[in-house]
Structure 1
Amino acid sequence: MKESGPVLVRQRLYAFFEALETDLRDVLEGWVVPQVSREQMFGPYLQALLEREAKESRPESSPARLLDYLHLSEAIALLHMHDRRLPSDIAAHFRSTAQFLDELVPIRHRVMHIRSLLIDDPETVLRIAAVIAKNPGPWTRTAKVVGRLISEPEWAPLIDLPTPVSRILQNLPLPDFDETGLVGRGEEQRSLRKLILDGRQPVVTVAGEAGVGKTALTVSTLYSLLDDPECPFEAILWISLKAEILTAAGVEQLTVAARDALGIAEALGAPLGVGFLETASQLGENLRGIPALVVIDNLETVDASEVITLFDALPVTTQLVLTSRVGLGQLERRFPLGPLRQRDAQHLLRALARTRGLEVIATLADREMVSIVDALRNNPLAVKWFILAVEAGGQPELLLRHQERLLEYCVRSIYDGLTAAAKILLELLFALARPAGFGELVVLSGLHVDETRMALHELQRSSLLDLDTMGGPGLVFLYSLSSTAYQFTEQVQPVATATLEEVRRRDSELRRSEERRRLDEEQRGLAPQAVRLRSDADEPVAHLLRQALSMSKRGDLDSAREMIAQAHSLAPDYFEVPRVSAFIESMAGNLAIATQQYEKALRFASETSRPVVEFFFAGHLARVGHDPQRALPLAQAAHQGLHQPETANILGQIHMYLGQHKLAEEYFSEAAAGASGKLAMIVVTNRVNLRRRLAESVADEERKPVDAFRIAIEGVELGVDAMRGGTIDRRLDEGTFECAREAARIVARRISDPVLVQDELTRLAELADSMRNVWAALPDWPYLERDLQYVNERTGSSNEVHATVAVEQAGTITSYFDDKGYGFLLTDGGSNLFFGRFSLEVAGDVTYLFPGVRVRFSLGANDRGPCAIELRVDHPPSQPVLPGRRRGVVVTLQPSYCFVQDVPTGKRIFMHRSGLLSAAEWVRVLPGVNVEFEVMIGSKGAQVAPGSAALV
């Protein structure tokens, strides 16, 4: 049967059942009625038939046969009961077809009572009709109707479909899915029915994207309520606000029944016999005391406030069921409806193709079916559109690739109504093309947390998002565009290229930030920047916290606090948020706030993360709060839990502040054994400071100046040896100098006969000589010179502090800024030192100043601390080709060479045409072109290594 619509399907089925029931009644009337009494004839069905006759008869109508009130199942049962009274040929024919007739009973109920047809109802009727057509027997009327149904696929009997008789007043529409029945929504229908009957939900919204079958599910569910004797409603009132319909030819506009609360109320009042209404509250007055269910279909076509106005006007005995792509956003209990399951979408596609005579599609293999329904997003409307379009002559492959009309119909009105923030998130998720967590969306969009939350809620209400969950502790949602929203953005509403590039840049930056965080956690586990995660969901928050630390380091406290506030909004119970906040406030000198934040971090920290917070809290109390007694148990707990060089170092510091010098040295020694890099420098500085403090104590409290002097000298030697080995920073420099000053003060003021420490005094002068280039920049340098001069005069010694040849050190340039004339190098001892262009011993060596180049230097100082002076580039260079690829821009061009400006350093680098990986690329080299390359150090300085450059 080739059908052209749901009404036609039902009319044709109605004609079949009407003919079949007439044939059954005629057999009973012709062969059974004459032989038996009325009581024998109808047996157990007599009373029900009499009640139907009394209820349905009208005084003005002619008497009807009692047989006319038989249901199909009752007629079949009576034929079974009286088959011995039938002629043998009719009885034999009835027995041969009885099994098929029983199959028709539930289908007849759905057809005659305007209930939702099942997917195989039309096919079942056709199959049984074909059996009857081969051997009609006494079913003569049925055979004629079957003949027309089979021979005339477009035959539409002129039948007025009956209005279903029900105790419930209703104006429900005909189901619009009779061609196939309601496919694959059994579980959803049971759940929706239960929700409606629950009675505790005054407003239920069936929400989903366009075409998923919200109306079909709702209509089918409501018809099932009509058959339920327990149904609590006395009236089910329906209004559709659908403004357009999708056909194979495109979108057709419809006349909307209402636009506001009053119009909706008038349309709903029509089945009640209510005429003109002045206000929506008049409908409420008419419904007062009546348990009613008001159903508004396609709510999104009107302002939701109008429906809220109507809801407020209705009595408490009235419930609302809405279907909407968006929903009210308040009051409602949402019933989300997604696409069909893949198998059900395949069933729908096959059934529609078969009813439309498209056997080539109906008989496709499962694999091909899956590819089609996946391309159509398992959306029932999309499947129907596809079949209608193919039937109209469309090419399946092109239809699947170009769904612009369908997508425009499904999404356009929703998209146009989105706020700016929601559109930003939609474009962001499209550009990412992967699920993203809430924190990621905040960081990547630049929106405030509250803006992001509201925009996501808006997209969810509009059925434009899919949700998933992230594995691990806690419930973390991942958001992505629904397949419909993604295809709409791709095909109908493309995102600007600049936006795509910016999103991908931010995403790449976030990924790099996480890589650096992991590296910090592995290599510098107790550095402030080593933010620890509870799960992967914390990555965006950790990114914000690391940004806050960087901002505070630059002195931008306001921006840092804004970042902390964002992080707190995203993860209010994440211990690292108050921990980082406390660290920043502690560095800013805000003792009370920092202490409060550290206490909060301790409350949030898990058992494994608690020692980390205790470590930072102890350092804060000891160094900023000057409360080593309170800091001690925290530091001890941190060391017990972590047992790292850092925790040993903080314990040493606290014992040093408490005057427990022996314990302090034990912990400093433990820390030194495992420390490297910056921590090693900190530990050395602490050990120098410990000796200065111990020297002060021994000299002033124990009155042992000679011992004190020797302790101070030991501290000076420790610091100077470290700096000579390349472990250099301002604090170590100043700490060592203060230790030297303390030694000079003791020998000048406390030791009555300096000759007793002549050897140590000579050593002190030598150490001061070796550090003169560095210490001469310190403001207290003259006092050290004065004290040593005073001691020399007392002893008659020639130990004078004078300039000596500085110890040469080695290192590697890490950065150089050609336009600014300065850079930084990494000493072989692991310290970063500043150097200036004018510190070069050979001015021409400026062409060699490039990251990776090996240099030698002497230690000097400026107003910011130690720096490299007397800089000498290694000749010949120890590394002809420097590690790592660089990126630059061509700035000048000659026939066989050009100069490329290195992006990080701003340095202009010579590149011969042989520097290109492919010589044929030379014709594309123009000013402004981007180049990636390696650098070698040649006889004329830095230049592009041969065969290493590629245009990008």
Structure 2
Amino acid sequence: MSKITETRLTLAALIYGIEIDLKNNIKKNIIPFYENLAFFKNPELEKKVIERFEKENPGVLYIENLDEVIEFMDFYDTFTVLNQNKEFLTKEASVYLKSIINNLTDITPIRNRVMHTRPLLGGDFSHTYDFVSSLRKTDPIDWSVTIETREKIDRDPSYVLTLKFPSTHFENDQSNISHNLPVPDFDETGFIGRQQDVEALTKLILSNRVVSVLGDGGIGKTALALKVAYDIVDMNESCPFELIIWTSAKTTMLTTKGIEEIHTAITDYSGLIAEISISIGGENKLNEILEYLAYFNTLIVIDNLETIQTEEVRNFIRNAQTKCHILITSRIGLGELEYPRKLNGLSESESAKLIREIARIRNSETLLRLPQKTLVEISSKLYFNPLAIKWFVSTVETGIPPHEVINNKENLLEFCLTNVYEKLSSGAISILKTIRASRKKVTNAEIIYLSNLDPLDTRKHLIELFKTTLISRQIEDGSNYEQVTYFISDFAKDFLSKKYPIEQEYIKNHIKKSKELNTGISQIKKVQKYNIFALNALVYENQNQMISAKFLQEALIFSKNGDFESALQKVKEAKNIDPNYFEVYRVGAFIKATQGDLLSADEDYKLGLEIAPNNLRLLYYYAQFLMFKLEDINSALFYAKNVYNQQPNHPYTAFLIARCWNYSQEFNKAIQVIKNLKENVELDSKNLRIANTELISNYAESGKSELTIQTDIDNGINHFKKAFKIFDECANDKLIDYKMAKNFSTTVLSFIKLLPVVKISEYKEFIKELIRKNETYINLNVQLKEKIISLYQDKFSDNDLNNLIKNYEGNEKLIGNVIKPKNNKNNYVFIETPNERIFAHRYDFIDITTWTEWKNVVNGQMVSFELGENRGGKCAKSVKIIA
């Protein structure tokens, strides 16, 4: 009893009073009408209560002592039984009981926490006291014991220290788990908030060997650990532990007078071992402890580890974690040994509630009158730190004005950060400076880029910092990959600003470099979303790879400008940051292949595939390299199949394998791939043009193969006709671009050249009509046009098409396809050429005069144009729609 706080005793007294009054009401109003316990209306409840009575009173007949039996009812059962027997109550009492039944139900778990010495929750005291304060002597139910208890406590709060409760009131712990958990030191206000932290920490403890709760001094690490430890004890049969050992190395505490030492705490490794030995009843020997832990499922809790964190202690944890689970609270973590859980401050509402709970218990009228907004502002200035809030209230109670307490937090900051900053290495301080200068949350990659430190050193120093509470990290939502950001805790920010300010020039240089990084990363993200197979669509999975991607982006720019030396230097820098980043090898291989170093490029591709053997983009680019650079068709086909099998309905994978089949002269397979793509995927105009161009090419190649060896002339001709039919459909749908037109012209030339003599008369008019009908598209390439007309004249001895050459107007204009914005009301479009997209305004279209004509321009429509300039830069002028 001596360890139970005054708050807990007060609650116990009030709830015990309610329980006595409820039982007295049963004795007075119900028992006189019964000879047994049938009024329980619950056989299981009868059995339970009778068993309790007979255990305490062996040989005594319960049936003759019903008033005594009632004393063995649980709190919840008392008002439940009364409510089920309302016919024995007055009408007023019945209605009244119904009105308070929810209050009594809410008090039930509070009663259990009090009687089982479990951590109290925020609001337990105020909820119970408010209910008891509402009770009156004139109520329809007799509350005489409760009211008398309340009045005595109000007159003299120390009255509760004189009370003696029956043994049935403070029940023995029913758990099978042995433990030495202390009575919670937060009983005054109860455990407030942190439900997510409680759930998360419980799961971590049950699934990991070493778990640490890291946070600033006073943030609530000990309270959380104790609450979770008791919750685990209450799991009973489902609890995986047979023993929970609590040890504390807390050496100081913050009071209104300043920082005071705790002389009973563990101060070193020997003290820790001795404390654990006492808990298991053994000798002060490490081997004996480890042997014990091997036989019993144990959870060891080490509170405030940072005060004794020596290599001896680390070695003990390293050895013990193979045999038991360990929970640590600390301001400085263990690093690789632990699974950390960072604890932050309370929420605004929780902080305000904490102030009100303390003020209410201590009867501080000044604080109770403050509005919610003011309480939140006070909490913010105290970093939402529970200890800081309690320290504030206690200090204000001594007579110091609130604003003076807020403005003089040196003791508070010193207590929370003592011996932390001074233990940092110079590298860790440099990184801390970088994060502070950023004035926002920053990623690991940004720190590498901005601090100019080696990536390995950066990671080492970040681990060192994160083992303290000077920086915090947070996983950002809404991204396609896990992105952890780092920031300075509020405590640390104030502490460092006062003691270690940053020079102005450093901050300016930092801002300049930060802008350069953000611009580059933003561009990379845009490309990723636009096309996953784009050369500069760099994907990264972590922060180091992100900064590598920034260097690779710069490498591609150098390569595009022909500066291969600088490009490869950037690739090297990216590789130094993360040598296991597959994009380093893909980009490096591409640049080397462009430069002509094919063997080195091949080696880089293979290294990349060792790291990411199934990466879609890496396989795609290697297959292209093998096909177009090394002309190794069989190997290219092998990798192209891998890509296609992963994403058979993506245009790029289908085009790749179709081209491989084409090179292998497996034209029917290539044709089937493209046809499947068109059937299964709704292609945009650009990819639909490419698909049809591929079909025209493959049908033409298949026809050429048949007509060259003349094994099946009709089948060969039919393949050419299928190619022409596809082109005709594209013309009707206005889906032709320059490449398709050139491909069509080449197909026409091949058909005329390979058409057997026996078929000349049959197809003369067909070919003539084909050329006339598509004159506009054949005109786009003057050399091919002249060849087609010349060959036609020679083949068919016909000069009817000579006028087509005379009508030719030249080929100086550029060719492209219209790309319309999603908003149909825009006065502009883009024209896509093989190399770029160019802006084109409505009024630069020669053939467009009305809004209706403008709306009828088709997405993908082929146009010719001249290059010009406007205020935004390069644009299209004199745009003419090609039929």
- TM exceeding 0.5: yes
CA 1:58/1:567 → structure 2, altered by over 3 Å: closer, same or farther?
A: farther
Given candidates 325, 335, 339, the residue that maps to 1:329 is 335
Structure with higher Rg: it is: 1
- Structure 2 Cα separation of the partners of residues 157 and 130 of structure 1: 20
Given candidates 357, 373, 377, the residue that maps to 1:371 is 377
Kindly provide the amino acid, as one letter, of the partner of residue 172 in structure 1. Answer: L
Q: In structure 1, what is the equivalent of residue 150 of structure 2?
A: 146
Deviation at 1:239, TM superposition (A): 1.7
Kindly provide the amino acid, as one letter, of the partner of residue 255 in structure 2. Answer: T
What secondary structure does 1:407 align onto?
Answer: helix
Deviation at 1:503, TM superposition (A): 5.1
CA 1:475/1:333 → structure 2, altered by over 3 Å: closer, same or farther?
A: closer
Whether the 8 Å contact between 1:115 and 1:223 is mirrored in structure 2 is yes
The more displaced of 447-456 and 353-362 is 353-362
Kindly provide the amino acid, as one letter, of the partner of residue 9 in structure 2. Answer: Q
> How many residue pairs end up in the alignment?
600
Q: In structure 2, what is the equivalent of residue 414 of structure 1?
A: 420
Q: In structure 1, what is the equivalent of residue 259 of structure 2?
A: 251
**Pairing 1:75-154 to 2, within 5 Å after superposition:** 75-80=78-83, 100-135=103-138, 138-152=142-156
Deviation at 1:41, TM superposition (A): 7.8
Q: In structure 2, what is the equivalent of residue 495 of structure 1?
A: 501
Given candidates 188, 208, 212, the residue that maps to 1:205 is 212
**Pairing 1:708-857 to 2, within 5 Å after superposition:** none
- Structure 1 Cα separation of the partners of residues 477 and 578 of structure 2: 16
Deviation at 1:8, TM superposition (A): 2.0
- Structure 2 Cα separation of the partners of residues 576 and 88 of structure 1: 83
Q: Deviations over 1:801-845 (max 9, x none)?
A: xxxxxxxxxxxxxxxxxxxxxxxxxxxxxxxxxxxxxxxxxxxxx
What secondary structure does 2:336 align onto?
Answer: coil
Whether the 8 Å contact between 2:571 and 2:584 is mirrored in structure 1 is no
Deviation at 1:592, TM superposition (A): 7.2
2:386 paired with 1:380: yes
Kindly provide the amino acid, as one letter, of the partner of residue 69 in structure 1. Answer: F
What secondary structure does 2:325 align onto?
Answer: strand
Q: In structure 2, what is the equivalent of residue 220 of structure 1?
A: 227
CA 1:456/1:68 → structure 2, altered by over 3 Å: closer, same or farther?
A: same
The more displaced of 401-410 and 537-546 is 537-546
**Pairing 1:278-317 to 2, within 5 Å after superposition:** 278-286=284-292, 289-303=295-309, 305-311=311-317
Whether the 8 Å contact between 1:350 and 1:363 is mirrored in structure 2 is no
2:278 paired with 1:264: no
Deviation at 1:130, TM superposition (A): 1.7
Deviation at 1:110, TM superposition (A): 1.6
Instruction: Return the structure number with greater helix share.
Output: 2
Kindly provide the amino acid, as one letter, of the partner of residue 300 in structure 2. Answer: V
What secondary structure does 2:161 align onto?
Answer: coil
- Structure 1 Cα separation of the partners of residues 211 and 183 of structure 2: 22
Given candidates 148, 160, 178, the residue that maps to 2:187 is 178
- Structure 2 Cα separation of the partners of residues 262 and 479 of structure 1: 36
Given candidates 459, 465, 487, the residue that maps to 1:459 is 465
- Structure 2 Cα separation of the partners of residues 102 and 540 of structure 1: 57
Deviation at 1:108, TM superposition (A): 1.4
Q: Deviations over 1:351-379 (max 9, x none)?
A: 33443444554454454444333333333
Whether the 8 Å contact between 1:510 and 1:540 is mirrored in structure 2 is no
CA 1:265/1:25 → structure 2, altered by over 3 Å: closer, same or farther?
A: farther
Q: Deviations over 1:614-660 (max 9, x none)?
A: 99xx99xxxxxxxxxxxxxxxxxxxx99xxxxxxxxxxxxxxxxxxx
- Structure 1 Cα separation of the partners of residues 91 and 594 of structure 2: 106
Deviation at 1:146, TM superposition (A): 0.6
Kindly provide the amino acid, as one letter, of the partner of residue 183 in structure 1. Answer: I
CA 1:30/1:191 → structure 2, altered by over 3 Å: closer, same or farther?
A: same
Q: Deviations over 1:188-209 (max 9, x none)?
A: 323333444x4x4233323333
Whether the 8 Å contact between 1:119 and 1:183 is mirrored in structure 2 is yes
Whether the 8 Å contact between 1:110 and 1:116 is mirrored in structure 2 is yes
Whether the 8 Å contact between 1:211 and 1:410 is mirrored in structure 2 is yes
2:166 paired with 1:158: no
- Structure 2 Cα separation of the partners of residues 96 and 584 of structure 1: 83
TM-score between the two structures when normalised by the length of structure 2: 0.56
Whether the 8 Å contact between 2:189 and 2:357 is mirrored in structure 1 is yes
What secondary structure does 2:135 align onto?
Answer: helix
Q: In structure 2, what is the equivalent of residue 900 of structure 1?
A: none
Q: Deviations over 1:266-301 (max 9, x none)?
A: 3234455x15x2312323444554333322222222
Q: Deviations over 1:215-266 (max 9, x none)?
A: 2222222323333343333332222221222223322211354345553343
Whether the 8 Å contact between 1:205 and 1:332 is mirrored in structure 2 is yes
What secondary structure does 1:330 align onto?
Answer: helix
Deviation at 1:73, TM superposition (A): 2.3
What secondary structure does 2:5 align onto?
Answer: helix
- Structure 2 Cα separation of the partners of residues 548 and 89 of structure 1: 86
- Structure 1 Cα separation of the partners of residues 277 and 51 of structure 2: 32
2:237 paired with 1:239: no
The more displaced of 449-458 and 298-307 is 298-307
Q: In structure 2, what is the equivalent of residue 679 of structure 1?
A: none
CA 1:151/1:539 → structure 2, altered by over 3 Å: closer, same or farther?
A: same
Q: In structure 2, what is the equivalent of residue 938 of structure 1?
A: none
Kindly provide the amino acid, as one letter, of the partner of residue 463 in structure 2. Answer: H
Whether the 8 Å contact between 1:472 and 1:535 is mirrored in structure 2 is no
Whether the 8 Å contact between 1:250 and 1:405 is mirrored in structure 2 is yes
Deviation at 1:304, TM superposition (A): 5.9
Q: In structure 1, what is the equivalent of residue 782 of structure 2?
A: none
- Structure 1 Cα separation of the partners of residues 248 and 500 of structure 2: 32
What secondary structure does 1:189 align onto?
Answer: helix
Kindly provide the amino acid, as one letter, of the partner of residue 179 in structure 2. Answer: Q
Whether the 8 Å contact between 2:252 and 2:262 is mirrored in structure 1 is yes
Q: Deviations over 1:536-582 (max 9, x none)?
A: 9788658878999999xxxxx99x97993465325753757886799
Whether the 8 Å contact between 2:259 and 2:415 is mirrored in structure 1 is yes
Q: In structure 1, what is the equivalent of residue 47 of structure 2?
A: 47
TM-score between the two structures when normalised by the length of structure 1: 0.52
Q: In structure 2, what is the equivalent of residue 481 of structure 1?
A: 488
2:564 paired with 1:564: no
What secondary structure does 2:484 align onto?
Answer: strand
2:201 paired with 1:192: yes
Coordinate RMSD, CA, aligned: 5.4
Q: In structure 1, what is the equivalent of residue 430 of structure 2?
A: 424
**Pairing 1:430-829 to 2, within 5 Å after superposition:** 430-463=436-469, 464-469=471-476, 474-491=481-498, 493-495=499-501, 497=503, 501-502=505-506, 504-509=508-513, 511=515, 534=538, 564-565=572-573, 568-570=576-578, 573=581
- Structure 1 Cα separation of the partners of residues 319 and 252 of structure 2: 28
What secondary structure does 1:338 align onto?
Answer: coil
Q: Deviations over 1:768-795 (max 9, x none)?
A: xxxxxxxxxxxxxxxxxxxxxxxxxxxx
Q: In structure 2, what is the equivalent of residue 391 of structure 1?
A: 397
CA 1:287/1:578 → structure 2, altered by over 3 Å: closer, same or farther?
A: closer
CA 1:26/1:541 → structure 2, altered by over 3 Å: closer, same or farther?
A: closer
Given candidates 325, 335, 355, the residue that maps to 2:361 is 355
> Unaligned stretches of 5+ in structure 2?
60-64, 524-534, 559-564, 630-685, 688-883
- Structure 1 Cα separation of the partners of residues 145 and 99 of structure 2: 18
- Structure 2 Cα separation of the partners of residues 182 and 314 of structure 1: 30
Identity %: 27
Q: In structure 2, what is the equivalent of residue 7 of structure 1?
A: 5
Whether the 8 Å contact between 2:318 and 2:337 is mirrored in structure 1 is no
Q: In structure 1, what is the equivalent of residue 817 of structure 2?
A: none
What secondary structure does 2:473 align onto?
Answer: strand
Deviation at 1:450, TM superposition (A): 0.9
The more displaced of 129-138 and 238-247 is 129-138
